[in-house]
A and B are shown apart, each in its own frame.
Chain A
């Protein structure tokens, strides 16, 4: 085994270039609005990626099936733009003449922006446009175009339209064509409305380019379902409320009720009585509230268009359960912490402080017997991140939306040594002088926080089957 072999092994990891470039771009654009993504947003991004993966590589790689090609052969120019951006919904809508053609153009500081089309189908708003090649005079390198844009006169990052926005851009002869796709951010749809768009700058060239874009969709057909399934053991409930079907896509609206706010319920797929599989996109949170029976969230998510001739639909929900962190002041040398929600415990046998290190000796109780070697390895690995040491006066400074140890007042990592497999006995060593440390460290002022969540596998909840009313047409 030599470096060549190892190199070629690592080279086996396929790199999705466009997605990586897109991720880089998103990372950089986070800086533009000066804010960091909230956790929910991050979660949402993950879910999209999963859904995209489920949708199939065909979609992502730009491969268009022969059947699609046949359709495209007869498509007017607008459909061609959607084809460029692998947007099937767009192609389908263009074929049905359900895309609004626009011809609005504005020139500022020598740069012309022209908006060419808009559609609003189900949960999705799309806008396509063109920007001329003078944008290269801006600060960006050749081939790059970045817009600083807001909708509905929102400012900066605090714009609900930016939360579910994705961008696509292609070089054409005299400039660049682009498509923006947004998840419609509001609970109720207006059939006709105007969406004000403000482009503040493009590649650093100042505008403003202001547009008012009509967005309209014919009334969605609504299929009311309202089937609630409770999972008392897991302390969650799911209410499948309704499915809206637009011209080219459907959206599912459902409500979850959770006792623990950080629980994550997601619908992996649905299958109808004929075996068709439906996949789900990025969820839009329409409403969140705390009520007597728990945290309620109403979610709308784009799904594969519902077939019209089916009689039942089975949803496959998953639960990734959260367990609130438990804590204990390090004044005493031995103590036991119990998981709030599960039958798991952390039994601390000893706490010792020696020259710049803190060693905690402990056992995890309540784990299944006969854990495989693999699982023990994983536990061993996870334990490096499951303990936090935090200065007790700074516990309140931990941001619940984006939890992390307070700088200079917390240590989020440790090194783990397994002492005995059979008794799940480990030792964790914290570097008190590392990059992440606690100023003026004193054992009795330090809170130990432990997170049991990772011991709980994400689980498949019992599927929910709903009978669909037959359509009267």
Chain B
């Protein structure tokens, strides 16, 4: 499986489009969820997926070490998400409609897992990125520092602060629910 993956990556680096498509498809859930964590809605997440596929394919020839495919791709997803947020010009529009869609108090009865998800989505971007790369992708601090282009110590700070904030808002929700 690993070896087959490596083969695909090597083919993709040589410009084989179908190998590349297959490779991306293998990770479709991860790519989509990562995008979604930034843009918070399906249509934008799909736009990010599209742009990621485009940018990744046009630059994969520059990927020197196949082992780093996934971290390299993750960087592109994050960059594309940021670009989309920017390019939509009304970045995260301040309309009340959108604000009220923020899940914070919209679903008092949702289960723990959804509460935690909404708490993650509300984290500030750097904390959120660090948290999901660490817990969801299982990346090492070193890899995260490479993806986020910040020192390892900063990643550690993001993680601990992010976790503290998560605990705070997550616990708050729990209190509201049970209390």
Contacts and interface: CB of A to CB of B under 8 A. Distances in A.
B92 A454 contact: yes
B172 interface: no
A394 interface: no
Contacts of B28: 15, 17, 20-21, 24
Interface in B1-60: 16-22, 24-25, 28-29, 31-33, 36-37, 42-44, 46-47, 49-54, 57-58
Given A8-B113, A46-B47, A374-B102, A27 B86 contact: no
Contact of B82 (A6, A19, A413): A413
- Scoring A9, A12, A21, A322 by chain B CB atoms within 10 A of each residue's CB, the highest score goes to A9
A455 B125 contact: no
A413 B85 CA distance: 12
Nearest to A367: B94
Contacts of A50: 43
A28 B21 contact: yes
B67 interface: no
A10 interface: yes
Contact of A12 (B32, B99, B113): B113
Contacts, number: 182
5 contacts: A6-B131, A15-B33, A39-B87, A262-B89, A381-B125
A434 to B, nearest CB: 8
B20 to A, nearest CB: 7
Contact of B42 (A53, A140, A320): A53
Given A6-B132, A53-B42, A378 B18 contact: no
A334 B35 CA distance: 38
Contact of B94 (A17, A378, A413): A378
Contacts of A27: 49-54, 57
Contact of A451 (B17, B54, B89, B97): B89
A42 B83 CA distance: 13
A7 B32 contact: no
A372 B113 CA distance: 26
Contacts of B62: none
Given A2-B135, A24-B24, 8 more contacts: A1-B167, A15-B32, A23-B50, A28-B54, A28-B57, A372-B99, A412-B86, A454-B93
Interface residues of B, number: 66
B85 A385 contact: yes
A8 B113 CA distance: 7
B22 A378 contact: no
Contact of B53 (A12, A28, A262): A28
A39 B86 CA distance: 13
Contacts of B158: none
A5 interface: yes
A1 B170 contact: yes
A3 B17 contact: no
A166 interface: no
Interface string B138-170: 100000000001000000000000010011001
B63 to A, nearest CB: 16
Given A3-B135, A23-B46, A454 B25 contact: no
A17 to B, nearest CB: 7
B132 A10 contact: yes
B33 A375 contact: no
A458 B93 contact: yes
A9 B96 contact: no
